[in-house]
């Protein structure tokens, strides 16, 4: 075995041994921190290191429980890397001529009872308590007692019901106990085995969503208490996608509106992806706003959404499943930032180096969500950048109109339903689809459909036509979305009269991460619909806990008063924010209006720059 472990640690001299194998001194390659490295032959008849590592993770965070740094396989060895501890109580007992004072015994007893109590609180018995299995710490923790060696531990009760194991006669020597120790497979589930620990850094919390691939849980960083989203996928699934998706997130890392990956790895029977916790999806917010969004809100969203798609394409990938569920708002300071998620159907469309485009093909199956799929996708043509943008256009019209003409069509089978959607979509002209709305939306669709298969879209042009419309309408880019107004109005029903609004926040639904990954082709979702528990567990929409002003919010915006101001926002101001200035319908443009338009453009550009440069702090991506 080489002198490297887990690509992080240097293997040093042997400092101990036992029936299971050896313990070596180790050093972290970057920090030079000394660690203990436990080695077990992977071919041993009764391996126990994996089981023991699971128990250490279950107990992680308890006082007097050593931290696990890494577990894995290196060559022919199972390897467990842990905190380096001091001498055992057996060692110290021998050093003290095999007798301890009453004072020392009582001081030890208090800590030792605490360790056993904590072990029992996690529903396990140790079953091999002895002086060798209590160690003292090192350095600042030299007076702290640690409990170790969980190879004979046994679960004595159910986690949830606390149902105790049945009474039995058992007269077995320690050797026999070791032969009959509880095996990993006897746990009810891998999740129970993990016991709320992921990657040795995160605590697994309640489920906040589910889908065909698995589940999403709320999680907490053990050291910082930061809340995260933890995505779980059964490692034995027929079509695993979490590893592929984690690689795409890593590729896109650092881009505005792309959630950070905190960790990816395997825990028990699960592939696990730990990511930023985000706010509600645009589908959630659309429903909260009675399934219709104002022109102002749609245009503020459109600018960010085009940016997200452009960035995705710049990394040589197509998303292929754009829908409102796959755009989420952030939380806290980033509550007004749009995030793009769910890369399970993404596909590389060109070579990274040469930019050679994939070839044109036909007779392809529908991939994505039928409701938002482009016409060419329905016709079986290989997707390219133009198709993502056409899908985005359908999302914008869905927000404005409240529904699309091909929704609600009935058919006997899914295939027939997709055919009916395709027929309706092909027969609906762009002018008919966009009738009653500004001509810029028709221009958007005409441009998308004019693109050839391998054309690079002019994203700047598409953003520009919407920005010009925004300015012409007299709107202010103040991050006051429709849901912001509704939440403000709700808060006034219960808030004290002197209380001012929390400026510019956009999230208020129970937080979650993703619209669950689905398999391609459904009209209402590219994959089967996720569990209704996602973001609905708290019932009615609540006000966001974030009270930070929106980043780069202009001083002239609706909620632009200084933080803590008790000034009331009037209903007239709310209405102006929603609809824009009443002057915009005037046939003549006065000098003051021209100045106002110029000022609005500058304010718009400043606001856009602000939101797009609000980068999420990068955290290293871990995979072992």
What's the CATH code, domain 196-276?
Answer: 3.30.200.20
Mean pLDDT in residue range 277-296: 94
Lowest mean pLDDT among 191-205, 527-541, 579-593: 527-541
Q: Tell me how far apart the alpha carbons of residues 178 and 27 are, in angstroms, rounded to a whole number.
A: 31
Q: Is the pLDDT of residue 549 over 80?
A: no
Q: What mean pLDDT value characterizes the chain?
A: 80
DSSP, res 88:
B
Band (534; pLDDT cuts 50, 70, 90): very low
DSSP, res 610:
H
Give tens-digit pLDDT for 379-417: 999 999 999 999 999 999 999 999 999 998 888 888 899
Among 525, 552, 507, smallest CA distance to 339 is for: 507
Q: Are 543 and 508 in contact (CB under 8 A)?
A: yes
Beta strands in 296-431 (DSSP E): 317-318, 327-329, 338-340, 347-348
Backbone phi, psi, residue 454, to 5°: -105, 15
- The CATH 1.10.510.10 portion of the chain extends over 88-167, 280-486
- Residue 394's pLDDT is 98
Give residue 6's Cα distance to chain centre: 25
- Residue 610's pLDDT is 60
Q: Are 454 and 439 in contact (CB under 8 A)?
A: no
Q: Tell me how far apart the alpha carbons of residues 231 and 199 are, in angstroms, rounded to a whole number.
A: 13
Q: Tell me how far apart the alpha carbons of residues 423 and 428 are, in angstroms, rounded to a whole number.
A: 9
Other beta carbons within 10 angstroms of residue 354's beta carbon come to 7
- Residue 94's pLDDT is 75
Q: Tell me how far apart the alpha carbons of residues 47 and 170 are, in angstroms, rounded to a whole number.
A: 23
CATH topology of domain 280-486: Transferase(Phosphotransferase); domain 1 (1.10.510)
Give residue 455's Cα distance to chain centre: 33
Q: Is the pLDDT of residue 574 over 90?
A: no
Q: Is the pLDDT of residue 338 over 80?
A: yes
- Residue 569's pLDDT is 40
Band (47; pLDDT cuts 50, 70, 90): confident
The H or E element spanning position 602 is helix 591-612
The H or E element spanning position 248 is helix 242-252
- Residue 258's pLDDT is 98
Band (160; pLDDT cuts 50, 70, 90): confident
Strands 270-276, 227-234: parallel, antiparallel or unpaired by DSSP?
antiparallel
Q: Are 393 and 448 in contact (CB under 8 A)?
A: yes
Q: Is the pLDDT of residue 577 over 80?
A: no
Q: Is the pLDDT of residue 159 over 70?
A: yes
Q: Is the pLDDT of residue 424 over 60?
A: yes
Provide the token pair at 138.
């090192």
Show which residues are catalytic. 321
Q: Tell me how far apart the alpha carbons of residues 255 and 253 are, in angstroms, rounded to a whole number.
A: 6
Long-range contacts of 168-171 (CB under 8 A, 24+ apart): none
More reliable by pLDDT, 105 or 212: 105
Strands 9-17, 21-28: parallel, antiparallel or unpaired by DSSP?
antiparallel
Q: Tell me how far apart the alpha carbons of residues 376 and 422 are, in angstroms, rounded to a whole number.
A: 10
Backbone phi, psi, residue 115, to 5°: -65, -45
Provide the token pair at 544.
């966001």
- The CATH 3.30.200.20 portion of the chain extends over 4-83, 196-276
Mean pLDDT in residue range 292-303: 98
Sign of CA dihedral 4, 10, 13, 17: negative
Other beta carbons within 10 angstroms of residue 309's beta carbon come to 22
Give residue 280's Cα distance to chain centre: 12
Band (213; pLDDT cuts 50, 70, 90): confident
> Which percentage of the chain shows pLDDT scores above 90?
55
| Feature table: binding site | 231
Q: Tell me how far apart the alpha carbons of residues 270 and 218 are, in angstroms, rounded to a whole number.
A: 16
| Feature table: binding site for ATP | 231
- Residue 532's pLDDT is 32
Q: Tell me how far apart the alpha carbons of residues 34 and 53 are, in angstroms, rounded to a whole number.
A: 19
Homologous superfamily in CATH for domain 4-83: Phosphorylase Kinase; domain 1 (3.30.200.20)
Among 189, 168, 260, 268, smallest CA distance to 221 is for: 260
Among 27, 23, 36, smallest CA distance to 8 is for: 27
Sign of CA dihedral 560, 564, 568, 570: positive
Q: Tell me how far apart the alpha carbons of residues 294 and 483 are, in angstroms, rounded to a whole number.
A: 10
Q: Which residues pair with 476 in a beta bridge?
A: none
Among 622, 540, 534, smallest CA distance to 206 is for: 534
Give the three-class secondary structure for 101: coil
Lowest mean pLDDT among 138-142, 516-520, 578-582: 516-520
Mean pLDDT in residue range 468-486: 94
Mean pLDDT in residue range 160-177: 68
How buried is 567 (Cβ within 10 angstroms: 0-12 exposed, 13-18 middle, 19+ buried)?
A: exposed
pTM: 0.57
Q: Tell me how far apart the alpha carbons of residues 178 and 188 are, in angstroms, rounded to a whole number.
A: 21
Q: Is the pLDDT of residue 357 over 90?
A: yes
Lowest mean pLDDT among 65-74, 365-374, 552-561: 552-561
Other beta carbons within 10 angstroms of residue 380's beta carbon come to 13
Give the three-class secondary structure for 24: strand
Give the three-class secondary structure for 168: coil
Among 301, 322, 459, 476, smallest CA distance to 391 is for: 322
Give tens-digit pLDDT for 224-236: 999 999 999 999 8
Band (437; pLDDT cuts 50, 70, 90): very high
What's the CATH code, domain 88-167?
Answer: 1.10.510.10
């Amino acid at each position: 075995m080489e002198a490297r472990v887990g690509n992080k640690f240097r293997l040093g001299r042997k400092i101990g041994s036992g029936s299971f194998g050896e313990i070596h001194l180790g050093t972290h390659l970057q920090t030079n921190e000394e660690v203990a490295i436990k080695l077990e032959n992977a071919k041993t008849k009764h391996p126990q290191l994996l089981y023991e590592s699971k128990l250490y993770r279950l107990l992680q965070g308890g006082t007097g429980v050593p931290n696990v740094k890494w577990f894995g396989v290196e060559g022919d060895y199972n390897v467990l890397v842990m905190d380096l501890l001091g001498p055992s109580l057996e060692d110290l007992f021998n050093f003290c001529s095999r007798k301890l004072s009453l004072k020392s015994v009582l001081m030890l007893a208090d800590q030792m009872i605490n360790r056993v109590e904590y072990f029992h609180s996690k529903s396990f018995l140790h079953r091999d308590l002895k002086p060798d299995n209590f160690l003292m710490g090192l350095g600042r923790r030299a007076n702290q007692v640690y409990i170790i060696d969980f190879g004979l531990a046994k679960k004595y009760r159910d986690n949830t019901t606390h149902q105790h194991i049945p009474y039995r006669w058992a007269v077995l020597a320690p050797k026999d106990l070791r032969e009959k120790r509880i095996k990993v497979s006897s746990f009810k589930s891998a999740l129970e085995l993990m016991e709320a620990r992921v990657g040795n850094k995160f605590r697994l919390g309640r489920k906040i969503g589910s889908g065909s691939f698995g589940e999403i849980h709320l999680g907490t960083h053990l050291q910082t208490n930061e809340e995260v989203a933890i995505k779980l996928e059964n490692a034995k699934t027929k079509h695993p996608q979490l590893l592929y998706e984690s690689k795409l997130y890593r590729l896109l890392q650092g881009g505005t509106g792309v959630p950070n990956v905190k960790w990816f790895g395997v825990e028990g029977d699960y592939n696990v992806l730990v990511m930023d916790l985000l706010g509600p999806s645009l589908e959630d917010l659309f429903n909260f706003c009675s399934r219709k969004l104002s022109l102002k809100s749609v245009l503020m969203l459109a600018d960010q959404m085009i940016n997200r798609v452009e960035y995705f394409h710049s990394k040589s990938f197509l998303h292929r499943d754009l829908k409102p569920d796959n755009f989420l708002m952030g939380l806290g300071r980033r509550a007004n930032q749009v995030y793009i998620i769910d890369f399970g159907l993404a596909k590389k469309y060109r070579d990274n180096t040469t930019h050679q485009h994939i070839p044109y093909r036909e007779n392809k199956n529908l991939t994505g969500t039928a409701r938002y799929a482009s016409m060419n996708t329905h016709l079986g043509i290989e997707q390219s950048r133009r198709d993502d943008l056409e899908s985005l256009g359908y999302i914008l019209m869905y927000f404005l109109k409240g529904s699309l003409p091909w929704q609600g069509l009935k058919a006997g089978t899914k295939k027939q339903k997709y055919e009916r959607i395709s027929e309706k979509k092909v027969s609906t002209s762009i002018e008919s689809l966009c009738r009653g709305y500004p001509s810029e939306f028709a221009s958007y669709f005409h441009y998308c459909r004019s693109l050839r298969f391998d054309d690079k879209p002019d994203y700047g042009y598409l953003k520009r036509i919407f920005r010009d419309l925004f300015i012409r309408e007299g709107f202010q880019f103040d991050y006051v979305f429709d849901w912001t107004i509704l939440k403000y109005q709700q808060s006034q029903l219960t808030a004290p009269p002197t209380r001012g609004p929390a400026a510019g926040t956009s999230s208020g639904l129970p937080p979650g991460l993703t619209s669950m990954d689905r398999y391609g082709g459904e009209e209402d979702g590219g994959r089967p619909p996720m569990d209704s528990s996602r973001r609905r567990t708290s019932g009615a929409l609540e006000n966001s806990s974030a009270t930070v002003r929106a980043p780069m919010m202009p001083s002239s915006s609706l909620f632009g008063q200084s933080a803590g101001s008790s000034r009331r926002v009037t209903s007239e101001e709310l209405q102006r924010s929603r609809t824009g200035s009443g002057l915009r319908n005037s046939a003549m443009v006065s000098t003051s209006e021209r100045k106002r338009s110029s000022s609005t453009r500058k304010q718009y550009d400043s606001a856009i720059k602000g939101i797009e440069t609000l980068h999420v702090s990068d955290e290293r991506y871990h995979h072992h």
